[in-house]
Amino acid sequence: MYEEKEFEEKVVQVRRVCKVVTGGKRFGFRVLTVVGDRKGRVGLGIGKSGDVSVAIRKSVEAAKKKMIKVPMVVNTIPHEVIGKLGASEVLLRPAPAGRGVIAGGSVRVVLELAGIRDIVAKSIGSSSAINSAKATINALLALRNIEDEKVHRGKDLEVRFVQSVEA
């Protein structure tokens, strides 16, 4: 009877927005939602509607359409990366096993739903939830796996914080 969902959904922000028209003000809602499977896939969506539940449904659909795949090494990211959007900047650094997700706000939600368990993140500049979340997605898009990064830089990389995986 109970079927397990493929993706986990988290509403990050619900804002009441207003449009001024001839007869007064029209109120609506804008919802920011992050969707992920905690296995390396994550998406971000924004939905707008006069009703909160409709806006949430729209944002979840938008997030599922914009899913990205995150390259990971064990439970962290392969290398340090910076993502930018507008005045928001997010710095992501790999962390040793057991450190946990050290991040705040919408950055934390995106990283957790992507399945990253050990990472250090720093938000620089604007703390806007939407821009911070999109900057985090941009940073995750900029990640390369270790072999590609070695070719790109033209030298061997020092890979820290990776323990051998024994089955």
- What values do phi and psi take at 4, rounded to 5? -80, 135
Model pTM score = 0.88
Query: Which stretch of 16-25, 65-74, 144-153 has the lowest confidence by average pLDDT?
Result: 144-153
* pLDDT single digits (tens) 55-101: 999 999 999 999 999 999 889 998 899 999 999 999 999 999 899 99
The answer as to CATH 3.30.70.20 being correct for domain 8-68 is no
Ranges of each domain in the chain: 8-68, 70-153
| Residue 48 near residue 33 (C-beta atoms within 8 A) | no
CATH topology of domain 70-153: Ribosomal Protein S5; domain 2 (3.30.230)
Spatial distance between the Cα atoms of 114 and 126, rounded to a whole number of angstroms: 23
